[in-house]
């Protein structure tokens, strides 16, 4: 099967870089599925789950928006923020959600409200992705 190069980059680091079979990204108008030989494309991304298929495995990242460019030989995602599902700290994401919800209860300027709403979206995306995708450990057998 053919592959396409995927590079997911945030302001801090290269989050993912490998040859993959399929990329499913949260586009502004819905999910975008990118396979090898996809037509060139550039679009914006919404906060959501980025799914990556390689061989028989699937990988998941939480992204909080950005841009996606499809070239003949690669897909480049410039993400506002991106984390692999196994990197997400649930307690930190939950605390960020609570803080944002508390701040929204106050009188805020339009700019402040927009910033807090963006923070809330990021934390909710992280929580949704991690809850959906983290493997739950089977219960241990009683002694």
Residues 6+ apart with CB under 8 A from 88: 62, 126, 129, 130
Domains of the chain in start order, with CATH, are 4-85 (2.60.15.10), 89-133 (1.20.5.440)
| Residue 68 burial class via C-beta count within 10 angstroms: exposed 0-12, middle 13-18, buried 19 and up | buried
Q: Per-residue pLDDT tens for 74-85?
A: 999 999 989 988
Q: Which of 115, 83, 80 is nearest to 99 (CA)?
A: 115
Q: Per-residue pLDDT tens for 50-93?
A: 999 999 899 899 998 899 999 988 999 999 989 988 888 888 88
pTM of the model: 0.79
């Amino acid at each position: 099967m053919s592959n396409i190069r995927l590079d997911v980059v945030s302001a801090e680091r290269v989050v993912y870089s490998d040859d993959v079979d399929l990329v499913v990204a949260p586009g502004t108008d819905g999910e975008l599925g990118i396979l090898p030989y996809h037509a060139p494309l550039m679009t914006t991304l919404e906060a959501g789950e980025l799914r990556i298929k390689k061989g028989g495995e699937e990988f998941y990242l939480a992204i909080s928006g950005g841009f996606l460019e499809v070239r003949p030989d690669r897909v480049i995602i410039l993400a506002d923020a991106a984390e692999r599902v196994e990197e997400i700290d649930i307690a930190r994401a939950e605390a960020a959600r609570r803080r944002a919800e508390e701040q929204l209860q106050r009188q805020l300027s339009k700019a402040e409200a927009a910033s807090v709403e963006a923070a809330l979206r990021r934390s909710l995306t992280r929580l949704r992705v991690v809850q959906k995708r983290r493997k739950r450990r089977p219960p241990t057998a009683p002694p």
